[in-house]
């Protein structure tokens, strides 16, 4: 296959997928007609071509793969569009809980409740339904409570390539209520420390796998990471 045909095929794949595509994915999809080095070069060419134009999308690395995203300068228009279509956004409590899990994962619902100083099980259940957090195991303590971590979808929806791209403490200050201080967010939680309003560990509920995913909007992404880019595949 000619290089221009390979580039066209790769671009078509990137346009129809709603998830990041890795180089290995493309090698398999193209049936070995190009090696990883060739595909990586084509991806760089596509990225450069879109960056040199005024098109509304660009190619970026996210969650370990490549994905088309909307340009930051168009974020305000995308946000307006999403608001018009009444897409669900994260509540303040959900943003707080998601940030705590992202920085301290894995941790239990009781530990999240202790840090937030309020019951958080229902908030976590909502994040499970949105596929932004997942159950990643059980803690080796009495009752073996469930542990929660962020997901690949979390990286995708907030335009992060990895957890190392999470914003600094200062960038999160505007997200949290005044009672959620940096030193509170990152302090250690003892195994025997339970919040007054937290539910028992055995009462934690695992999300049903049949629940449909509800994607976070670009406005949520702006709250958490200050990013202007939005996954065009999720704009419906």
Residue 98 sits in the same domain as residue 197: yes
Residue 203 sits in the same domain as residue 115: yes
Domain that holds residue 145: 92-234
**Does residue 17 contact residue 230 with C-beta atoms inside 8 Å?**
no
At 172, the pLDDT band (50, 70, 90 cuts) reads: low
Asked, for residue 86, whether it belongs to a domain, the answer is: no
Asked, for residue 70, whether it belongs to a domain, the answer is: no
122 vs 167 pLDDT, higher one: 122
- Return the minimum-mean-pLDDT range out of 8-12, 56-60, 171-175: 171-175
What size, in residues, is the chain? 236
**Does residue 87 contact residue 216 with C-beta atoms inside 8 Å?**
no
Residue found by looking up tokens 């971590």 in the block: 149
pLDDT digits 0-9 by tens, 42-68: 999 999 999 888 788 889 988 889 999
Asked, for residue 71, whether it belongs to a domain, the answer is: no
Asked, for residue 59, whether it belongs to a domain, the answer is: no
Asked, for residue 102, whether it belongs to a domain, the answer is: yes
| Cβ contacts of 78 within 8 Å, gap of 6 or more | 70, 218, 230, 235
């Amino acid at each position: 296959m000619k290089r221009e045909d390979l580039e066209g095929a790769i671009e078509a794949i990137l346009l129809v997928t709603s998830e990041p595509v890795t180089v290995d994915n493309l090698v398999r999809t193209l049936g070995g007609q190009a090696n990883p080095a060739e595909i990586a070069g084509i991806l760089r060419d596509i990225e450069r071509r879109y960056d040199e134009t005024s098109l509304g999308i660009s190619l970026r690395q996210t969650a370990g793969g490549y994905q088309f995203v909307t340009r930051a300068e168009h974020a305000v228009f995308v946000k307006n569009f999403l608001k018009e279509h009444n897409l669900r956004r994260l509540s303040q409590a959900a943003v707080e809980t998601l940030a705590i899990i992202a920085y301290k994962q894995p941790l239990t619902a009781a530990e999240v409740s202790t840090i937030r100083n309020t019951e958080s099980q229902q908030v976590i259940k909502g994040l499970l339904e949105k596929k932004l957090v997942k159950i990643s195991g059980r803690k080796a303590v009495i009752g073996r409570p469930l542990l929660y971590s962020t997901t690949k979808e979390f990286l995708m929806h907030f335009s992060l390539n990895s957890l190392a791209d999470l914003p600094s403490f200062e960038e999160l200050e505007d997200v949290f209520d005044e009672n959620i201080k940096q030193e509170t967010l990152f302090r250690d939680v003892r195994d025997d420390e339970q919040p007054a309003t937290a539910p028992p560990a055995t009462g934690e509920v695992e999300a049903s796998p049949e629940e449909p995913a509800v994607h976070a909007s670009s406005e949520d992404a702006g709250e958490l990471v200050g990013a202007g880019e939005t996954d065009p595949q999720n704009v419906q």
